[in-house]
């Protein structure tokens, strides 16, 4: 059911003009941690958020356990994708 994760971080968010360097390094560490998991993943960074999208089937528990080992992550939030059906 879950195909993506929203990764929240704490201390990196208070950095100054070099914040992007810390965010990029965190993304690199997330990618490295995900190499130990079965499946393919895409890590993207947008406007202060880091998303991990699963491109293939994966073991949810194994993925979360590997993400927990990454220093700098404060929360891992599973994301459900839904179709936008408008207001009608």
User: Mind listing the pLDDT tens digit for each residue in 22-65?
Assistant: 899 999 999 999 999 999 999 999 887 899 999 999 999 999 99
The ranges assigned to domains in the chain are: 4-79
Query: Which pairs count as long-range contacts for 21-26, CB under 8 Å and 24+ apart, including other chains?
Result: 22/72, 23/50, 26/50, 26/70, 26/72, 26/73
Q: Do 77 and 34 form a contact (C-beta atoms < 8 A)?
A: no
Over residues 11-31, mean pLDDT: 85
* Average per-residue pLDDT for the chain: 90
| pLDDT greater than 80 at residue 19 | yes
Which CATH code for domain 4-79? 3.30.70.1510
- What integer pLDDT is reported at residue 63 of this predicted model? 95
CA distance 40 to 8: 21
């Amino acid at each position: 059911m879950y195909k993506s994760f929203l990764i929240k971080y704490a201390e990196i968010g208070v950095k100054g003009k070099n914040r992007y360097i810390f965010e990029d390094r965190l993304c690199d560490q997330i990618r490295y941690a995900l190499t130990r998991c079965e499946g393919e993943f895409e890590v993207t960074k947008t406007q202060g958020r880091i998303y991990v999208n699963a491109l293939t089937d994966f073991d949810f528990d194994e993925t979360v356990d590997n993400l927990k080992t990454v220093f700098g992550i404060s929360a891992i939030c599973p994301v459900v994708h839904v179709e936008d059906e408008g207001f009608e």
